[in-house]
Structure 1
Amino acid sequence: MPLLETLPVGPGTAQWPLWSTTARLVVTDPDALPVARRVVEDVTRQVEAACNRFRPDSEIMMLPGDGSPTPVSPMLAELVTTAVLAAERTDGDVDPTLAHAMNAAGYDRDFALLGGGPIRTFLAAPEPAWRRLRLDGDTLTVPAGTQLDLGATAKAWAADRSAAEVARACGTGVLVALGGDIATAGPAPDDGWRVLVRDQAEDPVAPVTLAAGGALATSSTVSRIWDHGTAHHLLDPRTGVPAKPVWRTVSVAAGTCVEANTLTTAAVVRGLDALPWLRSLGVPARLDGASFTIVALGEWPS
């Protein structure tokens, strides 16, 4: 997962292991830190209970596989809505129905427990299953034989929601980073939120300053890897196997972490085609090529 360095560790900062990565919390009011951490832990606990596909008791894993309509919690309904909007935004490059393909690729348990193994073939359906998802109020219908994987958007959503909830509950400026997904809310420090983003320790460094309310996401093909480095966790929905690693990492700054993560994930899937696409969107982006060639687009913050 991408490395993140924020303000020096002190009374206004905390970090702890979460989802095979690290949760980092920074608040401008150190006195608010204990309550802020409880807020973040509560949000991430609810997200995990709703959609962790490695927990057999999670709501997403208890959905029937026969295509029947099923009542779901407001949390899962919102997470599914977010995932479908990301699929629509990217023409299916960010697909929430790839759980079976993920399992076939070998990512069938929590990453910390992943031992590797050969990639198995998974044949995608002619029509993407995400187009056949139906959510009517609190009733979700998942096509028969389809299993959801909301990982591409749920972690970013959790960062956005956590930051917003901390700012509301504590009246403080806050930065929440869940691995490579960073969201801020409330007033920023006088010199902005200063972060240093990179993937591996030997990679080029990307210093970034985010204004209040800014968000940043980084997607990587060199962090969550297995099978001796031949597989990573970002699949091409059209093939069902890991996308070609044209980019080591892609970072995007946006108004929400969900938006930023949606674009970085799709950019990895699109490879070189991501360049004209991101340019057309006018978003600040930084793409680190396989040979450490850096491409910066838009008004990349520095």
Structure 2
Amino acid sequence: MWGTLARVVVTDPAAVSAARAIVEDVLDAVDAACSRFRPDSELVRAGRAGGATVPVSPLLAGLLSVALRAARETDGDVDPTVGAALCRLGYDDDLRWVTVHGRPAVVPPAPPAVDWRQIRLDSNGLTVPDGVQLDLGATAKAWAADRCARDVARRCGVGALVALGGDIATAGAAPEGGWRIRVQDQPDDPYCVVELPAGAAVATSSTVSRQWLAGDTTMHHIVDPRTGLPAGRVWRSVSVAAYTCVRANTLSTAALVRGTAAPGWLADLGASARLVAADGTVRTVGSWSAKEGTS
């Protein structure tokens, strides 16, 4: 799903089929609302309105509110207006297709003229400046993980874990000892195992996992909104634990954009985080505590 693997785990095996159906329904609804690869999605239709205000569904309005809040809380590090930049860099189709076929060489773009502060969302609807392409990938997947876990726990009466790639959310009662999560981006990266209490979440953002060739240059999907280019590879990956997956993913994505300033910023926020540097060394922040492994 969405170029990654969706996993659903429940504390009662009898609930597996029902849990899967619930998750698929949520993901289908989110995809129809905000996929930038579907010409019929609400998000794409709003972007074609030429700057006019258009009505949006409660679901898309909620997803946009989450994205704009993430932008505000990270001083623009996580910005939903980077869709056009991602397309210029070559991420203009399903990632599996882009990875196989590659893209043309990229001419360095001019600094973006519009950012999240020009997006208007109110009771009248959504206003997207003409020419701006929205991308909610940094927050919508995490929101979906949170929503799926809550819906499964509530409707099936079980403890639930939903993992959408690196976005992992839990809800309901946890197994004895908590949810045990192996945190590792790539197979050769160092790993650790953390135990999440009931209702906790963890998100991992990476400069390595989603990448493709544009000409001879390797690109990745974490864009620095201020340059329109991939963020510097100071960190291979950043993982953050929080009590919502949206919060965890917001911080992990922003940390990749902030580069060397990320550990201090995360510490000031009281975040619990694990950062894997470009050379594979591991740095932890806050209360993150787990035994590291190497294979």
TM-score by length of 1: 0.92
The one-letter code of the counterpart of 1:273 is A
Deviations 1:33-64 (A, max 9, x none): 11111110000000000111111111111113
2:157 is matched with which residue? 171
Aligned equivalents of 1:249, 1:112: Cα separation in 2: 21
Structure 2 Cα separation of the partners of residues 42 and 284 of structure 1: 32
2:225 to 237, 243, 248: 237
Give runs of aligned pairs for residues 176-191 of structure 1, distance below 5 A. Answer: 176-191=162-177
Matched residue, 1:5 = none
Shift of 1:301: 4.2
SS at match of 2:261: helix
CA distance in 2, matches of 1:297, 1:251: 10
**TM-score, structure 2 normalization:** 0.94
Once structures 1 and 2 are overlaid, which stretch shifts more, 170-179 or 60-69?
Answer: 60-69
d(CA) in 2 for partners of 1:56, 1:198:
34
**How many angstroms does 1:123 deviate by?**
2.1
Q: Name the SS of the counterpart of 2:144 in structure 1.
A: helix
Is residue 43 of structure 2 the alignment partner of residue 60 of structure 1? yes
| Aligned twin of 1:83 | 67
4+ residue runs over 4 A deviation: none
* Cα distance change, pair 255–177 in 1 and its aligned pair in 2 (3 A): same
Q: Structure 2: how far apart are the matches of 1:121 and 1:250?
A: 26
Using the alignment, how far apart are the partners of 1:108 and 1:43 within structure 2? Answer: 24
Q: Which runs of 5+ in 1 are unaligned?
A: 1-17
Is the counterpart of residue 22 in structure 1 residue 5 in structure 2? yes
Distance in 1 separating the partners of 2:49 and 2:281: 44
Cα root mean square deviation, aligned: 1.2
Any conservation in 2 of the 1:65–1:145 contact (CA below 8 Å)?
A: no
> C-alpha deviations, 1:208-243, integer Å up to 9, x for none?
110000000000111111116621000000100100
Q: Secondary structure at the match of 2:5?
A: strand
| Paired position in structure 2 for 1:121 | 108
Cα displacement (A) at 1:116: 2.0
1:88 counterpart SS class: helix
- The residue number in structure 2 matching 1:247 is 235
User: Contact between 2:112 and 2:226, CA under 8 Å: does it hold in 1?
Assistant: no
Seq. identity, %:
57
The offset of 1:282, in angstroms, is: 1.3
From 276, 279, 287, the equivalent of 2:267 is: 279
Distance in 2, matches of 1:123 and 1:100, equals 12
1:191-230 to 2 correspondences below 5 Å: 191-227=177-213, 230=218
Q: For residue 95 of structure 1, what is the aligned residue in structure 2? A: 79
Distance 1:292 1:40, change over 3 A: same
Q: How much has 1:119 moved relative to structure 2?
A: 2.4
Quick one: distance in 1 between partners of 2:111 and 2:124? 28
Q: What whole-Å deviation, never above 9, does each CA across 1:262-292 have from its counterpart, x for those lacking one? A: 0000000000010110110111100000001
1:110 and 2:94 equivalent? yes
SS in 2 for 1:75: helix
Distance 2:206 2:217 in 1: 13
Distance 1:209 1:229, change over 3 A: farther
Residues 301, 209 of structure 1: alpha-carbon distance in 2 compared, 3 angstrom cutoff: farther
Q: Give the superposition deviation at 1:125.
A: 3.6
Contact between 2:112 and 2:228, CA under 8 Å: does it hold in 1?
no
Equivalent in the alignment of 2:293: none
Alignment of 1:257 with 2:245, yes or no, is: yes
How many residue pairs were aligned? 284
Structure 2 CA distance, aligned partners of 1:38 and 1:58? 22
Task: Report how far residue 186 of structure 1 moved.
Answer: 0.2
